[in-house]
Amino acid sequence: MTQRVDAPSEKPPGGDVKPWYVYLVRAANGSLYCGISDDPQRRFLKHQKGQGARYFKTSPAQALVYMEQWPDKGEALRQERLVKKLRKSAKEALVAAYAATGG
């Protein structure tokens, strides 16, 4: 899992910041869905149950294939926008690199 540590995080008063994740889920048709969550495992289970993203109505979620940790929701949203703009081949390269590191 990639962890961004050099980005400043904004701490809410009286509490720690919970990390957020950009994640990719492989659908049954082979496509990749990109999203963010503070708990990607829980979100993936919701995707598998058909809850949440309409994306999986036509092709069910099969596997959580990539996660990247960010210090806060804002950073995760920025990274999600960048990942969504990537070509499929670049997203597949992220998945392959993540798998190679034991992700």
Are 63 and 29 contacting, i.e. CB atoms less than 8 angstroms apart? no
Return the minimum-mean-pLDDT range out of 12-21, 22-31, 48-57.
Answer: 12-21
Distance (Å, whole) CA 41 – CA 4: 19
Q: Which domains does the chain have, with CATH numbers?
A: 18-100 (3.40.1440.10)
Look up residue 90 and give its amino acid: A
Among 87, 92, 84, smallest CA distance to 66 is for 92
Look up residue 26 and give its amino acid: R
Indicate if the pLDDT at residue 42 is higher than 60.
Answer: yes
Backbone φ and ψ for 62, nearest 5 degrees, come out as -110, -45
In the beta sheet, which residues pair with residue 33?
A: 25
pTM strictly above 0.85: no
Condensed to tens digits (0 to 9), the pLDDT of residues 46-79 reads 999 988 788 999 999 999 999 999 999 999 999 9
Which residue is listed with tokens 């993540």? 98
Backbone φ and ψ for 65, nearest 5 degrees, come out as -110, -5
